Amino acid sequence: MEPLGERPERGSAESVRTAVLDATLPICNQSASVNVLASLAPRWSEMCQGDLQAEFARLSATLRAFARAERKQMLDAIQALLPVLERLGGQQAVRETAQAIVKTAQWWP
C-alpha cells in the first residue's frame, strides 16, 4: 500500500497508529480488525496530521479494503468509522451512508 499523505515522524504515537492501520487492512476479514479501527477512529485526525486530504484518502482506502470483507465486517467497520465519517462529511455523509446500506441490503438481502 502506498503512503497516503505525509507520514508522521518515525517512533511517534501517530506513526505507530498509522502502522497498525496499515497492518490491519490486509486482514480485514478478521473481527479483531474492526476493534483496531474502533480504537484508531478517535485519533484519525492525529494519524493524518490534521491534513483533511490525507484523512479522506485513508478513510477511502480503509473502506475499500473492508468492501472485500464479509458483509458483517464491512458494516462493523462503517460503524467503527462513523465518528470519522461524521467529522469529515457531517450528518449528510452519515445519512447518505445509511441510505446506501439500506439500498444495498434490498439488492442483496
Query: CB–CB of 64/1 below 8 Å?
Result: no
Residue 42 maps to a domain: yes
Interval 61-103: pLDDT, tens: 889 888 888 899 899 999 999 999 999 999 999 999 999 999 9
Residue 8 maps to a domain: no
Query: CB–CB of 23/33 below 8 Å?
Result: no
DSSP symbols for 88-101 = HHHHHHHHHHHHHH
97: domain range? 13-107
Eight-state DSSP code of residue 108: -
Domain count, the chain: 1
**In the prediction, which pLDDT does 4 show?**
46
Interval 17-30: pLDDT, tens: 777 777 776 676 66
Angle value at C-alpha 54, between 35 and 64, nearest 5 degrees: 50
Q: How many of the other CB atoms lie within 10 Å of CB of 11? A: 8
Residue 82 maps to a domain: yes
